[in-house]
Chain A
Amino acid sequence: VTPADLLGAAILVALVLYALLGGADFGGGIWDLLASGSRKGEQRALVERAIGPIWEANHVWLVLVVVVLFTGFPRAFAAISVELFVPLVLLLVGIVLRGAAFTFRTYDRPEDRVQARWGLLFSVSSVLAPLVLGVVVGALASGRVRVAAEGARPLAWLAPFPLAVGLFAAALFAYLAAAYLAVEAEGPLRDDFRRRAIAAGLAVFACAAAAAALSFREAPVVFHGLTGRHFSLPLHLGTGAAAVTAFLMLFRGRVRAARAAAGVQVALIVAGWGASQYPWLVVPDVTLASASAPRATQVALLWALAGGGVLLFPALAVLFRVFKGEKPFSVVDRPR
C-alpha cells in the first residue's frame, strides 16, 4: 500500500460521506420541488427544518475532496478541470444558487410569493447539482475524457452513460433524503416520505439497470470492475441485501432501520464505484500513481488528514447529536 493508495482511499471515504450527507441535502431540495398533495407546505417545512443547521457542514466534504485532489494528485486535478470544464461550471452555478436561495428564503419576508420564488430557485438548483455531479463521475469512469489527446474537447462528457449516471445520482439522493425524512417526520407526513422513498427506490433500481447496461459498451473498465473482480460478488450481494432490507423496512414502517439500510446501500454503491475504477482517477489516462504529487507532500497530507479527522469527527458528532439526536440535551446540557 502506497501513500497514493491511502490518499485515494481518503478521497473515496470523503465522497461516501458527501453522498450520505450532502447527497441527502440535494435530495431534500428535490422533494421540495416535488412536494405535492394536501401536506405540500408541511413537506417543505420539514425539509427546511431538517437541513437548515447542517447543510453548510455537509458540503465541505466536496471542498475537502477538491483540496486533497489538487494537493495529492495535481495532474489529475488539472486534467479533470480542463476536460470537464463545462459540467463543473454548471455544478458551481447549481451550488451557488442553491445555497444562496436556501439562505435567502430563510431570512427574506415570510410572504408566500417571496418564499415561493426562492424555494423554486433552491429546488431547481438542487436537481441540477446532483445531475451534473453524476455526469462528471460518469464521464471520469467511461473513458470518454481523454487527457490532451487532440486539444480540449469541451463536450466529450455529453453521452448516454454519463447522463444515465447523472439521473442515477439524482434518484439515489432523492431516495436517501426520503428515507431520512421519514424518520424525522411524524404521523401522515411520515407516510408521505415512506411512500416517496419506495418510489425513489424503484427509480434508483431502474437508473442503476440502465447505467449498468450502458456501461458494458461505454465504460468497459468499470463494467469489468463491477463484474470480474474478486470483490464483485460480495459487493453486489451486500448492496442487494441492504436494498432489500431498506424496502422491507419501508413497507413495514420501521423507518429507523430503513434509514440505516438505505445509508449502507448508498455507501456500498459509491465505494463500489471507487473500487471498480481503481487504480484510475480518469479512465484510461490518469492513475493514482501517474498523477501523484511527490512522496513528501502525500505523506504530509496524510498526517494533516489524520490530525484534522481527530478534530472533525467529534465536532460532527456534536452537530448531529444536537440536531438529529433523540435527546440532544443529554450530552450537551449539564445541570448548572
Chain B
Amino acid sequence: VSDLLAARGLFGVSLAFHIVFAAVGVAMPLFMVIAEWRWRRTGSAVHLELARRWAKGTAILFAVGAVSGTVISFELGLLWPRFMEFAGPIIGMPFSLEGFAFFAEAIFLGIYLYGWDRTSPRLHLASGAVVAASGAASAFFVTLANAWMNVPAGFEMRAGVPADVSPFVAMFPPGWAHEVVHVLLSCYVATGFAVAGIHAFFLLRDRASAFHRAALRIALGVGGAAALLQPLSGDFSARQVAATQPVKLAALEGQFETERGAPLRIGGLPDAERMETRLALEIPRGLSILAFHDPDAEVKGLRDFPREVWPNVLNVHLAFQVMVGLGTLLAAAAAGGLALRLLGREPPAWYLRGVVALGPAGFVALEAGWLVTEWGRQPFTVRGVLTTAGSVTPVGGLVVPFVAFGLLYLFLGAVTAALLWRQIAKAPVGAGGGA
C-alpha cells in the first residue's frame, strides 16, 4: 500500500466513522427535546421515559463523536499538512466558528444529561434546544469548508501561493447553500429512519407499547419530513453541480459524450477505457431536464476534459446510484407514513416491517453521498488548484496508523452498538398507556 493510499484510507475511515456520530449529534438532540417538550406540555410519562433514554443514547454517541472529531482536527495536519498550509488561512473561518458551536454542544449537553435534578425545567429544555441548534450549526460550518474544496473562492493564485485572501468570500463559495441544505437534511433523514427502524422492530413484537409508538411518531415525523424535502434539495444540488463542477456531474451520471438532450441513466456500469456506460436504464432527455430544466440543454461529457482530471467514474457513478436509489425509497416510505397519519391509522405490520428494513438505508445513503462528493473531486483536494498527491505528508509508514485506527474504530463501533442495543432492549415492554 502506498503512503498516499494509506493516508486516504486512514482519513476515509476516520471520516466515514465520525460522520455517523456527527449526523446523530445533529438530529438526536432534536428528538430528545421534542420528547421532553411533549412531556412538559402533556405530562405524558412515556415521553419523559423516552427523553431520558434518548438522552442516554445521545450521551454515548456524542462522546464517541467528540473524540473521533478531535482525531480529525489533528489528522488534517498529520495526513495533509500541505493542504492545511495552503487552505488553513482561507477556510479557517468556518472551522473556528465550528469550534465555538462544538463548545456550545458540549457545554449544554453536559447540563442536559446531568442536570435533570439540578436545573429549572426551563433551563433544562433550553439546554437541549441549544444542543440541537449548535449541532446543526457545527454541520453547517464544516460543510462550508467542504463546499470551498469543491468550488474554491476568495483568493488568487500568484506564483503557486494564495494571495488576496478574503476569508468571508471563501466562507460562502458558489454553491454553498445547496451542499449545506443537502447535508443537514441527510442528518435528519438518516438518524430519523435509523431510530424509527429500531422502535418499529420492538413495536412489531409488542404492538401495544405506547413507548415505542411515541418514539416512532417523533423519529418518523422528523426523518420523514426531511426525506420528503431531500429530493427537492437534490434537484437544487444537481443544477448547482452542473453549473460549477461539470466533471463531477459527468462522472456521477456516467456521461462520456457531450450532447444535447442527454439521457438520465439509472444503474449501469461506466467503463472508462471504452468511454461508455453499459447496462443502464436510459430515460431520454432526463439528465438535461434534471440538470438544466431544459430538455435540449447541452451536458458536457467526460471526453471534453483531460483524462488526468477524471475521477474514478465507476466508483462515483455507483455511489451516486446508491444514494439516489435509497433516497427515493426513503421518500416513498415517508410519503406512505404521512398518508397513514393523515388517514388517522396506526401503522400496520407491513409498514413497520418496511421501516425496519429501511433502518440502515439513510446512513448508507449518507455515506454514499459523502463518497460521491469526495471521490467526485479527485484527483484534487482543492478542485483545480491542489491535488491530493500534493497534499499528503512526507512522513512514511502510514499503513501502521491506518491499521491501528481501523481496528480501534471497529472496536468502538462494536461496543457502541452493543451498549445502545442494551439501552433500548431493556425498554419498558408493554409500558402501555402511561400518558
Binding site for B on A (CB under 8 A): 52-54, 56-57, 59-60, 62-64, 66-68, 70-72, 74-75, 77-82, 85, 88-89, 91-93, 95-100, 102-104, 106-109, 151-152, 154, 293-294, 296-297, 300-301, 304-305, 308, 311-312, 315-316, 318-319, 322-323, 328-329, 332-334, 336
Contact = CB atoms under 8 A, between A and B. Distances in A.
8 contacts: A53-B110, A56-B62, A57-B110, A96-B67, A99-B66, A102-B63, A104-B415, A319-B111
A260 B73 CA distance: 32
Q: Which 10 residue pairs of A and B lie closest in terms of their CB atoms, listed nearest first?
A: A71-B92, A81-B77, A293-B89, A74-B88, A308-B100, A78-B81, A103-B63, A53-B114, A99-B67, A70-B88
Interface in B398-425: 401, 404, 408, 412, 415, 419, 422-423
B102 A107 contact: no
Contacts of A77: 77, 81, 84-85, 88
Contact of A300 (B71, B93, B118, B401): B93
B165 A294 contact: yes
A53 B111 contact: yes
B109 interface: yes
B349 to A, nearest CB: 32
B106 A56 contact: yes
Given A96-B68, A297-B165, A67 B78 contact: no
Contact of A56 (B63, B96, B166): B63
Secondary structure at the B interface, as helix, strand, loop or mixed, is: helix
A52 B85 contact: no
Contacts of B64: 99-100, 103
B296 to A, nearest CB: 44
Nearest to A312: B103
Interface of B: 56, 59-60, 62-64, 66-71, 73-78, 81-82, 84-86, 88-90, 92-93, 95-100, 102-104, 106-111, 113-115, 118-123, 162-163, 165-168, 393-396, 401, 404, 408, 412, 415, 419, 422-423
A150 to B, nearest CB: 12
Secondary structure at the A interface, as helix, strand, loop or mixed, is: helix
B29 to A, nearest CB: 14
Given A99-B63, A333-B120, 14 more contacts: A56-B66, A64-B99, A66-B73, A66-B74, A70-B76, A92-B74, A95-B67, A293-B89, A293-B165, A296-B165, A297-B90, A297-B165, A318-B111, A323-B114
A324 to B, nearest CB: 11
A78 to B, nearest CB: 4
B66 A59 contact: yes
Contact of B167 (A54, A78, A80, A300): A300
B107 to A, nearest CB: 5
A66 B96 CA distance: 9
Nearest to A291: B85
Contact of A78 (B68, B82, B419): B82
Given A56-B63, A70-B76, A82-B395, A323 B118 contact: yes
